[in-house]
A and B are shown apart, each in its own frame.
With several copies, the nearest count.
Chain A
Amino acid sequence: MIPTAGTSVEVRLPSRLGFEKVAMGTAASVAQLMGFPPDRIEDLKTAVAEACINAIEHGNRLNEKLSVGVILSATADGLEVKVVDNGTGMEKQPPKPDIDRKIHGEEDPRGMGMFLIQALVDEAEWVHDSKGKGSYVRLVIRLDKDSEFDKESK
């Protein structure tokens, strides 16, 4: 049931909010084909959506002439997703969101996308543009792992 490692699917989306849902649909279909359980597919969908929203908003700054690339590749033990934009990426990762500070107005209520991505997938890595080839976030979900087990071991 697992596609040969190396098999990949690519999607190209316009930089418009809402189109992250197309990436969710594609990612869900690939994960289903690979035999991922429904709860892991939900995790993947949310992580891919947040990565696309960031690529659309922060990477491509809502410039509809630019597109967001989503590359889904089967690996030996799971699925790797790269979400590529035309921006320069980030200097450093934002701090972990703190709900108490948010509720008390000491922190922006936003700023949860990257936290959610990291919490929902097995690996998340942000790679920033070095030679004008675009920045990307690389996500991995593994097939054999139980999501709860995996979260605890982090």
Chain B
Amino acid sequence: MQAETKTTVDQTSGASGAPVSVLRFSGDISSTSKDSLLGAWQSVHDGPVLLDFTKVDYINSSGIALIIQMLMEADKTGRKVAAFGLTPHFQKVFTMVGIAKYAGLYKDEPTAAASL
């Protein structure tokens, strides 16, 4: 009943030219997204990570909990995370719940990559 989450994993480079992994989500981020989101997270190697929300239509509180789980993993292993492509509404929501404290929120990929 819920739109599937697709997550693809890409590679780009950060400010210093060091490699950065990019997780690109599409569809919904909700309770059914667990395997897609956490599976993709586990598949990426060391180093900083970018989260691309450009093609996400819907995020609910269960989806936000999954993003927090990714940030827990990142925090444990000392990896930097930045996000981009969120609508102004979800930038506000991510700030309200405190995610912005653990992941920089940027308007586009170059700005987000430059922060890492």
Question: Which A59-98 residues sit within 8 Å CB-CB of chain B?
Answer: 97-98
Pairwise interchain contact A19-B97, C-beta atoms closer than 8 A? no
Question: Which A9-59 residues sit within 8 Å CB-CB of chain B?
Answer: 16-21, 33, 39, 42-43, 46, 49-50, 53
- Name the B residues within 8 Å of A19 (CB-CB): 1
A5 within 8 A of B: no
- Name the A residues within 8 Å of B99 (CB-CB): 99
Instruction: Mark each residue of chain B from 44 to 85: 1 if its CB lies under 8 Å from any CB of chain A, else 0.
Output: 000000000000001011101110110110010000000000
Pairwise interchain contact B89-A110, C-beta atoms closer than 8 A? no
For B1, give its contact among A3, A46, A109, A116 (CB under 8 Å): A3
- Name the B residues within 8 Å of A109 (CB-CB): 65-66, 68-69, 72
A119 within 8 A of B: yes
Specify the main secondary structure of chain B where it touches its partner. helix
Q: How far is the CB of B87 from chain A (nearest CB, A)?
A: 8
Pairwise interchain contact B68-A46, C-beta atoms closer than 8 A? no
- Name the A residues within 8 Å of B102 (CB-CB): 99, 103
What is the CA–CA distance of A105 and B32 in the complex, to the nearest angstrom?
22
B31 within 8 A of A: yes
- Name the A residues within 8 Å of B65 (CB-CB): 108-112
- Name the B residues within 8 Å of A1 (CB-CB): 1, 3
Residues of A within 8 A of B (CB): 1, 3, 16-21, 33, 39, 42-43, 46, 49-50, 53, 97-100, 102-105, 108-113, 115-116, 119-120
Given A1-B3, A19-B1, 12 new contacts (CB under 8 A):
A3-B1, A42-B89, A50-B61, A53-B60, A100-B98, A100-B101, A103-B71, A103-B72, A110-B65, A112-B61, A112-B97, A120-B93
